[in-house]
Amino acid sequence: MRRISILGATGSIGTSTLDLIERAPDDFAVVALTANRDVSALAAAAIRTRARFAAVADAACLPALREALAGTGIEAGGGVEAVCEAARMPADWTMSAIVGCAGLGPTLAAIEGGRTVVIANKEPLVSAGEVILAAAARSGATLLPADSEHNAIFQCMDSARPERVRRIILTASGGPFRDWSREAMAAVTPEQAVAHPNWSMGAKISIDSATLMNKGLELIEAARLFPVAAHAIEVIVHRQSVIHSMVEYVDGSILAQLGPSDMRVPIAHTLAWPDRMETPMAPLDFAAIGRFDFEAPDPDRFPALRLAREALDAGGARPAILNAANEIAVAAFLERRIGFLEIAAIVEDTLASYDPPAPHDVDAVLAIDGEARRNAAARVKDCVA
């Protein structure tokens, strides 16, 4: 029986994780579940799984959560500190699946407990990679990647020799606009951008997939998680999303991990690791897939990937600024305040406007994150005006 907690239990990754553990009730016991404000989904999941604790990040939602859990014996909490408290409760396996840098504090709280923490929430790793890895080294926590590409790389590296890796090849679907001109992209709506051809995901990561910023964040994520030089990590567009990434060794041998485009596959890998567990996925039908295509990403139509590469190479505060400006710009696009192409433009302008020193602790990361958000928000206002 493994004790499980899920940070961001009501989102796309959270519900996929719940689906897997609810199929194997004898193997998993739920300790804590958290959400931002989705009280009804959180309470329902907590009641179904007999969780001990449920917390909403938005403290204003606590009375509603208390009411929804009345008489169940499940404790309710509200506010960011309650979410961190949920992350600190003893559990064997914690899923970090809050969206954005808002997940940094709770993820660190889980890591400080020294247990297995599964990272879906990539933004904190981008902004505060050094701080997170240092915390894991101190506490002895095991970090397992849930992001499909990084999980694929982990599986291809797991039994081999990381020092003999020549190249990591991150695959990208290319998103819904991979064949569109920039002129056509200028007019896309949030609905078009959220409709991903291969994956069903939360709104923010869906927009990131459409701009290719998701692949940029993943490039930085890969550089944090695996002992490979940044220049040895390449991105290739593979529109079928069947090969989830590849690892090339010095002898020219390349290992790939393949599977259906369903996040339950990589999540199940982390849930059972180092064992394997069954999932409800149908076997891949290669004859129906027919072919694998590969093409280089187009830097002119998708500048976000270049911005992320530059931020990774420059290091220091750059990845945190990139991420924070992107979070603001994506939110503004979803609110229809700016156009699709302005997302990357705002990130680029924010990065160009200043260059603070490298952060070495959480407070310094949060200060950079906050300033980049204010800076990017001012640029959003300029676009709207």
- Work out whether 205 is an interface residue with ligand NAD (CB under 6 A): yes
Can you name the residues that pair with 144 across neighbouring β-strands?
A: 118
- Closer by beta carbon to ligand NAD, 194 or else 233: 194
Query: Which x/- pattern over 149-168 shows residues binding Mg ion (rule: CB under 5 A)?
Result: x-------------------
Kindly tell me which residue out of 21, 39, 87, 97 binds ligand NAD, with binding defined by CB under 6 A: 97
- Work out whether 327 is an interface residue with ligand NAD (CB under 6 A): no
Cβ burial of 41 (10 Å; 0-12, 13-18, 19+) is middle
Does 209 carry a binding-site annotation? yes
Pick from Mg ion, ligand NAD, none: which does 235 bind, CB < 5 to 8 A by kind? none
Q: Which of 272, 221, 250 is nearest to 162 (CA)?
A: 250
Does 139 carry a binding-site annotation? no
Query: Which x/- pattern over 161-200 shows residues binding ligand NAD (rule: CB under 6 A)?
Result: --------------------------------------x-
Place of tokens 């709104």: 203
- Work out whether 105 is an interface residue with ligand NAD (CB under 6 A): no
Does 149 carry a binding-site annotation? yes
Return the range that interacts with Mg ion (CB under 5 A); candidates 92-100, 140-148, 343-351, 373-381. 140-148
CA distances from 64 to 7, 8, 51, 67, 375 (A): 19, 18, 17, 5, 35
- Closer by beta carbon to ligand NAD, 127 or else 375: 127
Q: Measured between alpha carbons, how far is 285 from 65 in angstroms, rounded to an integer? A: 44
Q: Measured between alpha carbons, how far is 115 from 379 in angstroms, rounded to an integer? A: 41
Does 221 carry a binding-site annotation? no
- Work out whether 221 is an interface residue with Mg ion (CB under 5 A): no
- Closer by beta carbon to ligand NAD, 147 or else 342: 147
Q: Which of 187, 228, 192, 226 is nearest to 210 (CA)?
A: 192
- Work out whether 260 is an interface residue with ligand NAD (CB under 6 A): no
Four-point Cα dihedral 141, 144, 145, 151, nearest 10: 160
Does 191 carry a binding-site annotation? no
| Residues whose CB falls within 8 Å of the CB of residue 290, separated by 6 or more in sequence, listed in order | none
CA distances from 311 to 6, 96, 150, 323, 382 (A): 30, 24, 19, 10, 24
Kindly tell me which residue out of 75, 85, 147, 208 binds Mg ion, with binding defined by CB under 5 A: 147
Q: Which residue is nearest to Mg ion (CB)?
A: 147
Q: At what angle do helices 123-139 and 362-384 cross, to 10 degrees?
A: 170
Interaction site with Mg ion (CB under 5 A): 147-149
Interaction site with ligand NAD (CB under 6 A): 8-14, 35-36, 38, 57, 83, 97-99, 102, 120-123, 147, 199, 201-202, 204-205, 263
